[in-house]
Amino acid sequence: MIISTTALQDYRLKHNTSQPYAFTCTSEGIFCNDCRELILCSRDLSTGQLQQSLYMSCRYDEICDSSNQCKKPPAFPPCSPISHVGFVCSKPGMYPDPGDCKKYYICAPDNSGVLTAHGYDCRSEGTGRGFGYDPKSTFCNKLLSNDQCSGYPIPLCTGLQSAALAANPTLYYDCKPYPNDPTVLYPFQSRCDNGKKYTPIYDCR
């Protein structure tokens, strides 16, 4: 099937990527928040209350199933909203979530050597509420206004474009159709080696 690039739209415009956690913790453990994310339910030592935080995101070709694990399904079922648009690692490193300034990913090989995205949420880290992820410092130290994101960490894809991140030009993104949903554009991220910066002529110097 051939899809015209003029018919493609950035996945963040088609779906809200900043929904709160859909799962409510009733016990401690790791559970599916939706078909793409797992959350950790743990007890706050000071209050005794259950709290939830992002544990990990499944690979782009996996879903979170009834066993609360990421697995490759025999046939990819529909997800709602577009939870199946998971972060895809192109190269080891730390990258911001394209649609949520409070989330980020570390791409690293798993035990079998497969490059895997490990998702993290600033809201569950020591800085707490009011801070977002800073791609330059690689810490959750970006002060937010009223705990709200202002725009997207990665600019919206308007076509098959490529550019450096304004906050850290050693990182860059390529807007391409997403593997499991070729009707949407997704900003695949990568990085330049040895402190080099991504240039307007599409290379690292």
Where b means 16+ CB within 10 Å and e means fewer, 44-83 reads eeeeeeeebbbbbbbbbebbbeeeeebeeeeeeeebeebb
Lowest model confidence (mean pLDDT) among 12-21, 123-132, 159-168? 12-21
pLDDT (0 to 100) of residue 83? 44
When pLDDT is cut at 50, 70 and 90, the band that residue 126 belongs to is low
Q: Residue 62 is encoded by which pair of tokens? A: 């996996």
Considering all CA atoms of the chain, what is the largest pairwise distance in Å, rounded to the nearest integer? 56
Chain-wide mean pLDDT for the chain?
A: 83
Per-residue pLDDT tens over the stretch 152-204: 899 999 999 999 999 999 999 999 998 777 778 999 999 999 999 999 999 99
Residue 113 identity (one-letter amino acid): G
Name the pTM for this structure: 0.67
**Mean pLDDT across the stretch 9-15?**
76
Cβ neighbours of residue 182 closer than 8 Å, sequence gap 6 or more: 1, 3
Q: Which residues contact 126 (CB under 8 A, 6 or more apart)?
A: none
Domain boundaries in the chain? 22-154
Q: What pLDDT shows up at residue 2?
A: 40
Question: What pLDDT score does 167 carry?
Answer: 93
pLDDT for the residue numbered 60: 66
What tens digit of pLDDT does each residue of 103-123 get? Answer: 999 999 988 888 999 888 888
